[in-house]
């Protein structure tokens, strides 16, 4: 890779700072292309485009994380718990990941950089639920096809103070059929 030797010479704190900046830049790029599509074609088109992008990106991200961790797909809740900690979002958003029971994991987005920025500007929450359903369901399915993803709440849903969205992942005996990966199609209408 270009400039790899240069990066290897940097201290760990500098590398972590660079990683955090890269995550911020990644999110800024995501937001900028979304706003461009929204301005040109409207919110419904921008959301549909966003869902399609996240469907592909989140699978690529999951596969790269699995490879980095030396894991194969099919590792269940344990693999998902590990993989969630390596997502780009974990560098810029405060999250809590915990077990509900041996087959169920929850992820709570305690602070969301996108939503906090909107609050600061006096804007309503970004209605990211339909995108999040695709994002988290395909991420989990790539980690292990037996993981079922459910949204507990996500904007535009009402949410408790101190949490922006909550996702639940449940390990099942059988793989989730491809047609059922995204469970809540009502948010698309």
Per-residue pLDDT at 185 exceeds 50: no
Angle at CA of residue 163, ends 160 and 48, nearest 5°: 100
Q: Distance (Å, rounded) from C-alpha 188 to C-alpha 112?
A: 22
CA torsion angle 172 78 134 57 (round to 10): -140
Average pLDDT over residues 42-60: 95
Report H helices in 42-175. Answer: 43-69, 76-84, 113-120, 129-143
**What does the pLDDT read at residue 179?**
72
Q: What local confidence, expressed as pLDDT, does residue 183 receive?
A: 62
Q: Is pLDDT of 163 > 80? A: yes
Q: Which residues pair with 166 in a beta bridge?
A: 108, 153
Domain count, the chain: 1
User: What does the alpha-carbon distance between residue 66 and residue 87 come to, in Å, rounded to a whole number?
Assistant: 11
At residue 124, the pLDDT reads: 86
| CATH classification of the domain holding 84 | 3.30.1380
Region of residue 42 (phi > 0: left; psi between -120 and 50: alpha; otherwise: beta): left
Enclosing domain of residue 61: 4-188
What would the mean pLDDT of 146-155 be, rounded to a whole number? 96
Query: What pLDDT shows up at residue 165?
Result: 97
pLDDT grade for 7, boundaries at 50, 70 and 90: confident
pLDDT at 99 over 90: yes
């Amino acid at each position: 890779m270009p400039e790899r030797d240069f990066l290897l010479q940097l201290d760990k704190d500098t590398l972590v700072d660079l990683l955090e900046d890269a995550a911020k830049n990644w999110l800024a790029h995501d937001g900028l292309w979304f706003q461009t599509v929204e301005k040109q074609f409207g919110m419904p088109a921008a959301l549909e485009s966003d869902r399609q992008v996240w469907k592909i990106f989140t699978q690529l991200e999951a596969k790269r994380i699995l490879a980095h961790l030396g894991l194969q797909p099919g590792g269940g809740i344990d693999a998902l718990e590990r993989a969630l900690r390596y997502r780009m979002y974990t560098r810029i958003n405060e999250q809590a990941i915990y077990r509900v029971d041996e087959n169920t994991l929850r992820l709570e987005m305690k602070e969301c950089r996108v939503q906090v920025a909107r609050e600061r500007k006096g804007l309503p929450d970004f209605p990211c639920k339909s995108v999040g359903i695709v994002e988290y369901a395909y991420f989990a399915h790539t980690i292990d096809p037996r993981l079922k993803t459910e949204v507990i709440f996500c904007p535009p849903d009402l949410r408790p103070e101190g949490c922006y969205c909550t996702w639940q992942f449940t390990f099942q005996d059988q793989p989730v059929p491809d047609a059922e990966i995204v469970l809540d199609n009502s948010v698309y209408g």
